Amino acid sequence: MYSRIIGTGRYLPERVMTNFDLEKLVDTSDEWIRARTGISERHIAAEGETTSDLASHAARNAIDAAGVEPESIDMIVVGTTTPDLVFPNVGCLLQERLGIGACPALSVETACSSFIYALTVADQFVRTGLAKRPLVVGAETMSRIIDWTDRETCVLFGDGAGAVVLDAASEPGIIFSSLGADGRYRQLLDTDSGISQPPPDGKKTSLRMKGNEVFKVAVRTLEGMVDEVIEKNNLKQGDIDWFVPHQANLRIIAATAKRLKIPMERVILTVAEHGNTSAASIPMALDTGIRDGRIKRGDLLLLEAFGGGFTWGSSLIRY
Ligand code: UT7
């Protein structure tokens, strides 16, 4: 048994924050941000709008696109770094809100790779017969853990959510998945505090990143993943129709596309309008490419992500 994608959806909060808005907050410029990252604007959740709010809109869109009843969903896996609460997990919050019946609901927390991890977990449940129709979501309110005085990170991130509905099928679907992690790099990209390690008095938990060092490991790791996918699946140049990468930085995406020998016209890019939305970036890019008609049934897709931890993962999918 395999899993295939039967519906996708996305949701972006209404408020748009441009690079020019950020020029008023920190010592930066639209020119620097665009040249170094490819980002022009990002969406920011409204006050009181939570990760599960964004996730529920994206999930409804995906369920509608799949043309199935919410009650037929038999597993929920949410990738997120910014859950509403310590618990219940965002999967349970979605279950209640979307009217999905009793079924396993969990979240995975592997930063920017969370969606690939979530997709792989759901796919494995389908392959072993434990689930037939999982809902997989990547959703983030990164704005909540941004230090808005740190120009090295606050210009990079945005909020959003993307979702896919998988269905059991006799043919893939998800052909190949690969996951990895290396905790020795934890200090290059992390948060300064959390729950059992609380923030120093009165402060909020904030993301920290040594961007330049992350950049180098990200490119190296993503190139290694490209080589692995090509080798293990005997792929030839031109076999992959669409590259749907995590959207952290246009320069990282371009380096990976070069290794893949795929032209940039075959890469789904949303980084300019969304910034880095962590777990949400891949499902939102996937939904963008599907809804605007570029990605068609039968196309071969490569999804790849790299993030804090470090964690990474890839998925080769016949859409
Ligand atoms: O999604 C999870 C994984 N995350 C990533 O993959 C992010 C990886 N890293 C990156 O995308 C890039 O490293 C950044 C976009 C974060 C930074 O780009 P960079 O080309 O690596 O720049 P840099 O950190 O080497 O900084 C170059 C200069 C520095 O000034 P000096 O030392 O050359 O005088 C920085 O202080 O740019 C300065 N700088 C800024 N200038 C204007 C850093 N941030 C800003 C800013 N505006 N926002």
Sheet with 174-181: strands ordered across: 174-181, 311-318, 300-307, 242-245
Ligand 1 centroid to Cα of residue 211, in Å, is 6
Please pick, among 112, 154, 249, 274, the residue that the annotation labels catalytic.
112
57 is catalytic: no
With the most atoms of ligand 1 within 8 angstroms of its CB, the residue from 210, 215, 278 to mutate is: 215
pTM of the model: 0.98
53, two tokens? 């709010």
Q: What is the mean pLDDT, run by run of 10 residues, along the chain of 319 residues?
A: 98 98 98 98 98 98 98 98 98 96 97 98 98 98 98 98 98 97 96 93 93 97 96 96 98 97 98 98 98 98 98 98
pLDDT at res. 200: 82
Please pick, among 89, 246, 249, 274, the residue that the annotation labels catalytic.
246
CB atoms within 10 A of CB 287: 26
> Vertex 9, ends 3 and 10: CA angle to 5°?
135
pLDDT at res. 202: 80
Residue whose token pair is 């792989």: 120
Residue nearest to atom 20 of ligand 1 (CA): 36
Q: Cα–Cα distance between 65 and 1 in angstroms, integer?
A: 23
Ligand 1 centroid to Cα of residue 203, in Å, is 24
276 is catalytic: yes
Ligand 1 centroid to Cα of residue 255, in Å, is 17
Residue nearest to atom 29 of ligand 1 (CA): 152
Residue nearest to atom 12 of ligand 1 (CA): 211
Torsion angles phi and psi, residue 38, rounded to 5 = 85, 5
31, two tokens? 């020119």
246 is catalytic: yes
CB contact set of 49 (below 8 Å; sequence gap of 6+): 13, 141
For CA atoms 128, 131, 133, 139, give the dihedral sign: negative
Torsion angles phi and psi, residue 188, rounded to 5 = -80, -25
119, 134, 237, 267 from 163: Cα distances, Å? 10, 11, 29, 19
| Ligand 1 cavity residues, CB under 6 Å | 28, 32, 36-37, 112, 151-152, 155, 211-212, 214-215, 218, 248-249, 252, 276, 306-307
